[in-house]
Amino acid sequence: MKLRKTHLLWIPLVVCLFLVNSVNVMAAIEQAIHVRGQVVDSAGEPVIGANIVVKGTTTGVISDIDGNFAIDAPKNAVLLISFIGYKSEEVKVTGPSVKIVLKDDTEMLNEVVVVGYGSQKKSDITGAMVNVKSEALQQAPVGNIGTALQGLAAGVDVQMAGGNTHPGASPQIRVRGERSLNGGNDVLIIVDGIPFSGGLNEINNDDVESISVLKDASATAIYGSRGANGVLLITTKRGNKGKINVSYSGYYGITTAIKEYDVMNSSEYIQLKKWATYNANPDAYTGIDDPNLMRVGDVFRDQEEMEGYLAGNDTDWQGMIFRNGMTTNHQVAINGGNDRTTYSASVGYYKGQNNYEAHSFERMTAKLSLDTEITSFLKVGLSTLNTYIINKGQDTNPMEMALRASPFTTPYKEDGSLRTYLPGSGQNVWNPLLDTQKNSVIDDRKSLSTFTTGYIDVKLPFGIKYRFNGGINLKYYSIGQFQASNTTKRMGALDWSFGEYQHSVDYTLENILTWDYSFNDIHNFNVTGLFSAQEREFTKNNVSGNDYYDDNIQYYNPGLAQGNVTGGGSYEKWGLLSYMGRLNYNYKEKYLLTATVRYDGSSRLAKGNKWHAFPSVALGWNLMRENFMQNVNTDVLSGMKLRASWGNVGSTAISAYQTMSRLDTGSKYLLGTNGVMGVRPGSVPDKSLGWENTETWNVGVDFGFLNNRITGTIEWYQQNTTDLLLGVNLPSTSGYSNSYLTNRGATRNRGLEFNVTTVNIEGDGQDKLSWSTDLNIFGNRNKIMDLGEGVEFDKDAGFFLGQDSYVIYSYEHDGLWQDTPEDRALAESFGYATSGANSVIGTVKIKNHHIDYEEDGVTPKAKQIINEDDKVFIGRRAPKFEGGINNRFAWKGFDLSFLWTFRCGGTITSDMHNGWMNTLQGGYNNLNVDYWTPDNTTARWPKPTTATVSNKGLLARYDGSYLKLRNITLGYNIPKTFLSKLNVQTARVYATGSNLFTWFSKEYRKDGGIDPETTSTINLKTPPTRTFVFGLNLTF
């Protein structure tokens, strides 16, 4: 599908022309009057910090601690007075004194939240959504706005993939579980109304005003083929009318490892090596105290290793490569405007480190937004977000060598130079300090991006409005990697470099018509129509080489490589055209209806199958507006709304050219005497390939009690996803070596969500203590409903009909074989040895779930066999339920907040315990686990041996439950009486601690686990960290 850009690109140019000519100059010729006044609320209390502006100018002041102000204004001029939470007032200047009473803004109290293509009063919303404001998002001093969402929204699961602790790592965000098996499950990100293709770490947290999460089909159907996985609507800060405000926000702190990994010290390691050597050949030794064990070729691999042990070395390798990191963030912003034009600009800088020097994330941002009302019917605006990122060490993991390194040896030779390989390792473990030398291991990732959006609003007769939205996202991204020969990455092999350069262009153009009409204030209509065009173009090129004559060349000039130089690249381009219509109707704000249909056409799909419609409908009933509810005591029941919705949304899990056949290269053949590159069929064309589709049902209740001191929602949903992309294997005779994807599977997700906000102590936070709490709990149940006709399982992929998409199907351990008559007899019934080097005593016992019978089907066989029939479903990675609880206190200028997050249930696997960090073979250092010996038969882990330790992976599974104190913040607002002397409006100092405490599985803690937070598997990364920062917020 080819988009006619030449017909559409003129529209953004109009935005710029309007902005250039939007300067409005007002001249006041009348004689100026010095006006003194006071701003109070409806109770007569002074309003501190109210904005007073001479309408049509930039002249303005703010009210002081007593609500008083003074301003020069022409006679008959109009003063515009505004303050958050109150209705703005306009007062004509007729004399030298004035008193203004601001009334509560009932529209503000009836909260307005951002929804797709507009905003609505919360009381009028029929879909499932949650709104998180900047105050909550800024509680956590993190570099990624997605991480800040953790624990704040029901139905939104935010976890670090693999337990990644790199400061630039992005979390995995899932809304109401995972629907797709082979496609993506990532949420759609919308920033200021335009789809955003960048990463969340490109957005400065301080620039975010709020995040709305759209969860059900009624809320997401307006995004059609991209809405199945939920939508994040991010609204950035824009200008406000009034005096220019300059603000600064910043913090600085340290990041430190919660603890080091628990590996063996010298005395523990020598015991492991003795047992491993003895158990591998018990007939050669009298026991582990046999002096013959302590020889080179037995316990010790070489002479230098033995000498290091005898010298009493006990090297802490983690202590040598780890140190405390720092995290800091600074932003300066300016905000202001008059009644015609508002503006907001900011520059920000963030840098985060963890406890390994080579890991850091650095971000610089510059943002500008401008909105101007050219006439009473024409308004235009522009916003641009520009980001430069330097991300270091993303793929540099020091743990492999640091944790395997023997404590018997030291990093330095006698002459003070660094060792290369370490004694006792068979040259398989190299000195981790080699990687910390200058220019030895480099992993630099840099990106420069700009995300610019603009709009034109035109008010037309009869309540009709036209809006043009345009946005473009440009991004340059580079990867530069270099590994010197004498590093843990190359281990003496030729040095290596890699460089990659990516460029992407995304643009979106939208034309939106809305019509608002109210008939006798009873029948209220809002109709929205949209035509949208989106296109993405992506290019990637890379080159690698090795054997450079100088390490300082790094990755900058692969042409100087004396060894092999290879290159690669890719290109992708796709477009999407969309039509959307939506009707919002309410009768007396009592009965609510939302109906939406979106029609998407994608260039990714084959001709004849490009277009698909995505409808939804939702109903709402505000019970509190019924006549029979008018006598209800609001001190008991103050709010009740019922909601129900149905809809169909899609997921663009198909790549740009997946419906086409593909040719693969790489095979060479002889043409005469010359080798010639050949091509072969790479994939089967599938013209019927389409979107994965999700049908969603949602029922919700919004409630309020005790005059809305208790408010919340309860949601139930079911999502039926069909046409899942599943692989089909082809016979080798077909000429195709790979499987191909086709639409043939189905999954179901069901869940419950509960969130409640309580005002526990109702106070003003000054003279009277205030305390409020937000609690959310949610759970999701996933099931595979279809894997294709006649298919009940795909063991290679791990998919089983009727089970969770990410279930664990495996043998189950039954403890360890013990040296008892019962276990010996049972082991011998399986044909296992119970003595000698191959004895199973002390090894992992597999539970026999399937009895093998003789041919009569009644008599158990004397010799049982453990085979595939003994595998069972033993867990799933998804928790039973999870959530968060956030508390906020305020009193006498002090504020205290703390956020807990929790997970209950779910099974996590630990690559750390099932990999080379826990071999129990004695060849390398080991996790300090409790292993079996004849004197320690209650141990969890099997006996060591220099041979293979079988089935220990069955033990590397743990309960994923945890309770975590995510962050705690104590702040103080400096009194305005003191600040006024410094010409400062507001000042707040605070201290925040993050990741302070985690309570989790006793078994995982005993085995050396530090933090169970992960999406499914704990990978071996640098240790989890906690952060302590001190911050300052100022407004001038």
Per-residue pLDDT tens over the stretch 755-814: 999 999 988 888 899 999 999 999 999 999 999 888 999 988 899 999 999 999 999 999
d(CA 437, CA 890): 49
Cα of first residue to Cα of last residue in the chain, in angstroms, is 52
Residue 684, C-beta contacts closer than 8 angstroms, at least 6 positions apart = 661, 730, 736, 740
- Average pLDDT for residues 519-535, to the nearest whole number? 93
Percentage of the chain with pLDDT > 90?
66
Nearest to 558 by CA among 612, 615, 482, 616: 482
pLDDT, one tens digit per residue, over 227-239 is 889 999 999 999 9
pLDDT exceeds 70 at position 64:
yes
d(CA 753, CA 494): 55
- The C-alpha angle 221, 225, 231, rounded to 5 degrees, equals 55
Could you tell me if 810 and 800 are in contact, meaning their C-beta atoms sit under 8 angstroms apart? no
Tokens of 705: 């009690």
Q: pLDDT at position 106, please?
A: 42
Q: pLDDT at position 63, please?
A: 85
Characterise 790 by phi-psi region: left (phi > 0), alpha (psi -120 to 50), beta (else).
left
Residue 33, C-beta contacts closer than 8 angstroms, at least 6 positions apart = 72, 73, 74, 75, 93, 95, 96
Tokens of 250: 């910043």
Instruction: Compute and round to an integer the Cα radius of gyration of the chain.
Output: 33
pLDDT exceeds 80 at position 1:
no
Nearest to 170 by CA among 394, 403, 451, 421: 394
C-alpha pair distances (Å), 263 with each of 272, 302, 318, 377, 686: 12, 22, 10, 70, 52
Tokens of 384: 């641009």
Rounded (10°) CA dihedral 61, 377, 471, 329: 10
- Tell me the three-class secondary structure of 367-427, residue by residue: EEEEEEEEECCEEEEEEEEEEEEEEECCCCCCHHHHHHCCCCCCCECCCCCECCECCCCCC
d(CA 177, CA 881): 11
pLDDT exceeds 70 at position 154:
yes
- Average pLDDT for residues 250-258, to the nearest whole number? 95
Q: pLDDT at position 666, please?
A: 66
Q: Identify the DSSP state of 1008.
A: T
Q: Helix, strand, or coil here: 93?
A: coil
C-alpha pair distances (Å), 193 with each of 4, 452, 1014: 22, 11, 31
Could you tell me if 113 and 204 are in contact, meaning their C-beta atoms sit under 8 angstroms apart? no
Cite the residue boundaries of each domain of the chain with CATH code 2.170.130.10: 110-241
Cite the residue boundaries of each domain of the chain with CATH code 2.60.40.1120: 31-107
Could you tell me if 684 and 661 are in contact, meaning their C-beta atoms sit under 8 angstroms apart? yes
d(CA 452, CA 472): 6
Residue 855, C-beta contacts closer than 8 angstroms, at least 6 positions apart = none
Sort strands 156-159 and 611-622 into parallel, antiparallel or unpaired.
unpaired
Residue 1002, C-beta contacts closer than 8 angstroms, at least 6 positions apart = none
CB neighbours of residue 590 within 10 Å: 16
Q: What is the pTM of this model?
A: 0.86
d(CA 570, CA 537): 11
d(CA 285, CA 273): 14
Could you tell me if 192 and 234 are in contact, meaning their C-beta atoms sit under 8 angstroms apart? yes
Percentage of the chain with pLDDT > 70?
95
pLDDT exceeds 60 at position 108:
no
Sort strands 188-191 and 231-236 into parallel, antiparallel or unpaired.
parallel
Residue 773, C-beta contacts closer than 8 angstroms, at least 6 positions apart = 757, 758, 760, 885, 886, 887, 888
Sort strands 907-910 and 1017-1018 into parallel, antiparallel or unpaired.
parallel
Nearest to 906 by CA among 873, 878, 882: 878
Q: Helix, strand, or coil here: 929?
A: coil
Rounded (10°) CA dihedral 853, 854, 860, 864: -70
CB neighbours of residue 214 within 10 Å: 27
Q: Phi, psi at residue 855, to the nearest 5°?
A: -60, -25
Q: pLDDT at position 965, please?
A: 96
Class of domain 31-107: mainly beta
Nearest to 451 by CA among 189, 664, 657, 218: 189
Could you tell me if 889 and 970 are in contact, meaning their C-beta atoms sit under 8 angstroms apart? no
Q: pLDDT at position 112, please?
A: 67
Tokens of 48: 């501190």
Q: pLDDT at position 86, please?
A: 67
Q: Helix, strand, or coil here: 5?
A: helix
Q: Which residues of 852-874 are buried (b: 16+ CB within 10 A; e: fewer)?
A: eeeeeeeeeeeebebeeebbeeb
Sort strands 637-651 and 611-622 into parallel, antiparallel or unpaired.
antiparallel
CB neighbours of residue 982 within 10 Å: 11
pLDDT exceeds 90 at position 30:
no
Q: Identify the DSSP state of 124.
A: G
- Average pLDDT for residues 280-286, to the nearest whole number? 94
What beta strand segments (E) does 847-917 contain? 872-876, 881-891, 894-904, 907-910
d(CA 392, CA 362): 9
- Average pLDDT for residues 48-60, to the nearest whole number? 81
Which of the four CATH numbers 3.30.390.50, 2.170.130.10, 1.10.1200.10, 2.60.120.200 does domain 110-241 have?
A: 2.170.130.10
User: Which long-range contacts link 628-634 to residues 24+ away (Cβ below 8 Å)?
Assistant: 634/707
Question: What is the chain's mean pLDDT, rounded?
Answer: 89
Q: pLDDT at position 398, please?
A: 86
Could you tell me if 239 and 373 are in contact, meaning their C-beta atoms sit under 8 angstroms apart? no
d(CA 441, CA 439): 6
pLDDT, one tens digit per residue, over 981-991 is 888 889 999 99
- Average pLDDT for residues 886-906, to the nearest whole number? 95
User: Which band of pLDDT confidence, cut at 50, 70 and 90, is reported for residue 4?
Assistant: very low
